[in-house]
Amino acid sequence: MLSLPQSTARSRRYPPPTIVRVVQGGLVSEMKVHWTPQWTWVAQCALGGLGLISTTFVCFRLGFDVAAAGFAYVILIALISVLGSLSASIVLSIASAACLNYFFTQPLFEFRIDSPQDVVAIAAFTTTSLIVTALTTAVRRSAKAAEASQQALIDTIPASVWIALPDGSREFYKRSWQEFSAADSPGNEVAMLHPDDREYVVEKWRSAVATGEEFEVEARVRSATGEYRAMLVRAAPLRDAKGHVIKWYGVSTDIEDLRRAVEALRESEETLRSAQAELAHANRVATMGQLTASIAHEVNQPIAATVINAEAALRWLGALRTAREPAMSSTGSRPSSRRCRRGRLAWTSTRRSAR
């Protein structure tokens, strides 16, 4: 960042532009007039000169003495000191002392003073005018410092502050609001509202102005970039001793980021609930699988034991038949072989049913 020298930076600190409102056919237009310090000083000196000429003419025509004319000059210098700068007021004080000497002290129309009283009067006038000028300038500077401090306090508030008149028209805007609405006129809030919110917000603001109740609404407002952002607008009335609304003090807070965060949190909660439901379903399926496996194991154990016992019996019967076949063949007995075949058939059917 480039920095200017101290003298150059001071010379370029121009006063804020003067806003002139012109009313034409019911339409109000604003015009900014920029004044540089040089032209401001010249204008103040010219205004003081015109006031000095008018005061001198009136006092001379009315036949005022030195004291009365000096008092009139002091009033003029005080007014110029309130409106003008210190240097312009000092120049006007010197010019007033000269006029007081030239037009109201003897001899007239000369810059010569014969009476000591006139000398004291002119000296007292000069001293008084300089003191009034210094005091007025100090008060004006204190007022400007207080205004700058108040403006700094308003600028540090993390919201857009605004002031409205009793009829609802805006009187003051925070600098951040002017930057937010740089693409539009700060006084054209209705056009900046979202078309879907415009009618509702306007109607609610009119109702609040008519009834004097506090105003609060959420609306989408178009920024300088063309993006619509959610704003929380609140306003409260300031009333006098009789209960009449003097002004409206409002604040507009950008809640777009907060709203997006809330929506993201809501979506995260929905995703979490869906994941929990899927996990519960998976747990139920796993539990059913374990139960099925347990039942199958409990059923397979007796069947396997039966098959083993049947096979053992078959082997035992086969061994018994082998041991008895020689004796049967020698005696010619057939019933034993029939019993063996019947036992084999019974074992075979039992094994098939087990499978």
Quick: pLDDT tens for 128-151: 777 877 887 788 888 888 888 887
- Sheet containing 215-222: order of strands: 170-173, 160-164, 245-254, 228-239, 215-222
Residues in the chain: 355
Cα dihedral 189→190→192→198 (10° resolution): 140
Q: How confident is the model at residue 214 (pLDDT cuts 50, 70, 90)?
A: very high
Q: In sequence order, what are the residues at sequence separation of 6 or more whose Cβ sits closer than 8 angstroms to the Cβ of residue 241?
A: none
Tell me the pLDDT tens digit for each residue of 60-114: 888 888 888 888 888 887 787 777 667 777 788 788 888 888 888 777 887 776 6
Cα dihedral 174→177→179→180 (10° resolution): 170
Q: How confident is the model at residue 206 (pLDDT cuts 50, 70, 90)?
A: very high
Superfamily of domain 160-254: PAS domain (3.30.450.20)
Among residues 112, 117, 29, 17, which one has the least CA distance to residue 67? 117
Is residue 190 within 8 Å of 180, Cβ to Cβ? no
Cα dihedral 163→167→169→172 (10° resolution): -20
Report the C-alpha gap between 218 and 214 in whole angstroms: 14
Domain ranges across the chain: 44-156, 160-254, 261-354
Among residues 232, 186, 187, 234, which one has the least CA distance to residue 208? 234
Is residue 249 within 8 Å of 230, Cβ to Cβ? no
> What is residue 252's three-state secondary structure?
strand
Q: Which helix (H) or strand (E) holds 215?
A: strand 215-222
Q: How confident is the model at residue 338 (pLDDT cuts 50, 70, 90)?
A: low
Q: In sequence order, what are the residues at sequence separation of 6 or more whose Cβ sits closer than 8 angstroms to the Cβ of residue 35?
A: 14, 15, 17, 18, 43
Report the C-alpha gap between 85 and 104 in whole angstroms: 27
Q: How confident is the prediction for the chain on average, in pLDDT? A: 75
Q: How far is CA 175 from CA 3, 156, 204, 256, 300, in A?
A: 23, 10, 25, 20, 85
Report the C-alpha gap between 247 and 251 in whole angstroms: 13
Q: How confident is the model at residue 217 (pLDDT cuts 50, 70, 90)?
A: very high
Report the C-alpha gap between 105 and 126 in whole angstroms: 15
Cis peptide before 116 (omega within 30 of 0): no
Q: How confident is the model at residue 123 (pLDDT cuts 50, 70, 90)?
A: confident
Is residue 86 packed enough to be buried (19+ CB in 10 Å), middle (13-18) or exposed (0-12)?
A: middle
Is residue 110 within 8 Å of 103, Cβ to Cβ? no
Q: What is the pLDDT of residue 236?
A: 93
The mean pLDDT value for 220-233 works out to 86
Among residues 111, 82, 84, which one has the least CA distance to residue 99? 111
